[in-house]
Amino acid sequence: MQRLECQVKNYNWGKRGHDSEVARLFAAGHKNFQVDEDETYAELWMGTHPDGPAKLSNSSTRLSSFIAKSHSASYLSNNNWKEDIHLPFIMKVMSIARSLSLQVHPNKEQAVRLHERDPLHYPDRHHKPELAYALTQFELLCGFRPADEILANIEAFPSLRSVMDGHNCENLRQVLERETSSQSLKCRQALAACFGEMMEKTRCHPDLVGELVDELIECLNSGVRGCLTESTVEVIQKMYVDFPGDVGVFSPLILNHMILKPGECCYYAAEELHAYLSGECVECVGCSNNTIRAALTPKFIDRDALCEVLNYRMTAPEDYLVPAIPLADYPGVQSIVSLDTLDSRDVSRGDIIYIPPGRRLRFSRCSSELEAFRTFSYEIGPDHENRKVVNVIKVIF
C-alpha cells in the first residue's frame, strides 16, 4: 500500500483559493502546501497518464514504473514486459467555477484516426468514457435534448432557427414527424445538418453569430422560455457574460441541462456532446486526454472533428443517470490485510493511496467520520493486450 503524490491542474475555469475542494483536499494531504487565494485549482489527477502522472511519496518513483516493477507485473509474460504499466483510468476531483468547453471524446476507432491525422492535438490513441459523482450540487450539459424539446426551442427562439438555418430546421421537423423513432439514422442526419450549420456559421460568419447570440439574450430578457427552466436561463446568461458572442451560448437550448445533487452520478460514453458547468465532483475517465472542442473555450477548437465524432442521439437526461447500488457485505473490506512492512497505517483527509492487486484492507478504527472514493479495474492500461491485473486507488475525504 503506497501513498501517492498527485498533480493539481490550475485551469482557468477552476475555483479559486479555499473555495476549491481541490485546493482544500490537496492542502490537507500536503502540510507544507500553501493555498494561493488568487490561483485557480481545477482538477486533482490520480493516475498514470503522462500529462499528470502520480508518484510514490516516499521515493518520487512514477506509479506506472512501480506497477511494472512490483509483483503486479508477474501477471505479464516476458514478451509483454514494460518499463511502465498504466492504469486504464484517471480518477479526478474537480472544482468548477464556470463552464468548461463544449466538447466530445472519441471512441477507440475514432481516437486512432484522430491521432494519426493530428498527433499534436490528439496524442492518445484511446477512448475516454466519463463518469461523474457529485460532491456538491453539480451542473452539466449532456447529450442532445429529446426531439420535441429541440423543436419547441427552435419554434420559440428565432435566433436559434437562424443559426441552424431555417431550411435545416424545417427538414428536421418533417423527418421527425415521418420517422417512428428519433434515434433513426435519418433523424440523426437531420440534426447533424442543423448542428453542422451552427459550427459553419461561427467559422465563416462570427459577427453574425454574435448578433444572433445578442438576439437570444434579448428574447430571454423579454420573458420567452420555450421549454427552458429558469435555472437553464441562468446558465445561458452566465455563458453570455463569460463567453460573449460565442456560439456555445446556444448549446443549452439543444442539450440536456442536468443538476445533480450530492451523491448522484452520471455516465456518458464517447461521442456524447457535453460541458460541465459548475460544482464539484469525483470523475473517473478512460486513460486518455483527448478532447475535441467546439466552443466556450480559448483552447484549440476542431469543429470538423467534433461533428464527425458526435452520435447525435436525442434522449432524456435520465438516461445518463447511474443509480447507486450499496454493497453492504462487500468482502474487500472485511479482512485485515497483512502488509509487507507493517500491519496498519494511519490515513487522514487528503491521503491518496495505491493498493496493489489482490490486497484487501479494513479500516479498524476511525477517530471521525470517514468517506473514501475507490477506483479499480480488472484491466491494465492502454497499449497492453493482457487484461488480468487489478489496480486500485483510494482518496480519503
Q: What is the DSSP string of 356-369?
A: -TT--------SS-
**Whole-number pLDDT of residue 179:** 95
Please list the residues that pair with 138 across neighbouring strands. Answer: 260
Q: Please check if 71 is assigned to a binding site.
A: no
User: Tell me: the pLDDT tens digits for 100-130?
Assistant: 999 999 998 999 999 999 989 998 888 888 9
User: Tell me: the pLDDT tens digits for 129-178?
Assistant: 899 999 999 999 999 999 999 999 999 999 999 999 999 999 999 999 99
**Whole-number pLDDT of residue 242:** 97
- Mean pLDDT confidence for 210-221: 98
- Mean pLDDT confidence for 241-251: 98
**Whole-number pLDDT of residue 392:** 52
| Neighbour-count burial of 31, counting CB atoms closer than 10 A to its CB (0-12 exposed, 13-18 middle, 19+ buried) | exposed
Q: Please check if 115 is assigned to a binding site.
A: no
Q: Alpha carbon of 372 to those of 29, 391, 393: distances in Å?
A: 14, 16, 10
CA–CA separation, 328 vs 314, rounded Å?
A: 36
CATH 1.10.441.10 fits 139-320, yes or no: yes
pLDDT beyond 90 at 328: no
The region that residue 251 occupies, defined by phi over 0 for left and psi between -120 and 50 for alpha, beta otherwise, is alpha
User: Tell me: the pLDDT tens digits for 62-74?
Assistant: 998 888 887 544 5
Q: Please check if 103 is assigned to a binding site.
A: yes
User: Tell me: the pLDDT tens digits for 31-55?
Assistant: 889 999 999 999 999 999 999 999 9
- Which residues are known to be catalytic? 293
pLDDT beyond 70 at 345: no
**Whole-number pLDDT of residue 1:** 72
The strand pair at 40-41 and 15-16 is best described as antiparallel
Instruction: Name residue, grid cell 451560448.
Output: 249
Q: Between 61 and 252, whose confidence is greater?
A: 252
Find the range with the poorest average confidence among 187-191, 205-209, 339-343.
339-343
Confidence of residue 370 (pLDDT cuts 50, 70, 90): low
CA quadruple 48, 142, 190, 249: dihedral positive or negative? negative
CA torsion, points 10, 13, 16, 18, in degrees to nearest 10? Answer: -80
**Whole-number pLDDT of residue 359:** 64
Q: Between 307 and 32, whose confidence is greater?
A: 307
In the chain, where the domains are located: 139-320
Q: Please check if 205 is assigned to a binding site.
A: no
CA–CA separation, 384 vs 171, rounded Å?
A: 46
CA quadruple 132, 135, 140, 143: dihedral positive or negative? positive
Backbone angles phi, psi at 131, to 5 degrees: -130, 130
DSSP per-residue letters across 184-252: SHHHHHHHHHHHHHHHHHHHH-HHHHHHHHHHHHHHHHTT--TT--HHHHHHHHHHHHHSTT-GGGGHH
Backbone angles phi, psi at 268, to 5 degrees: -145, 140
Lookup: cell for 133: 459523482
pLDDT beyond 70 at 395: no
Confidence of residue 83 (pLDDT cuts 50, 70, 90): confident
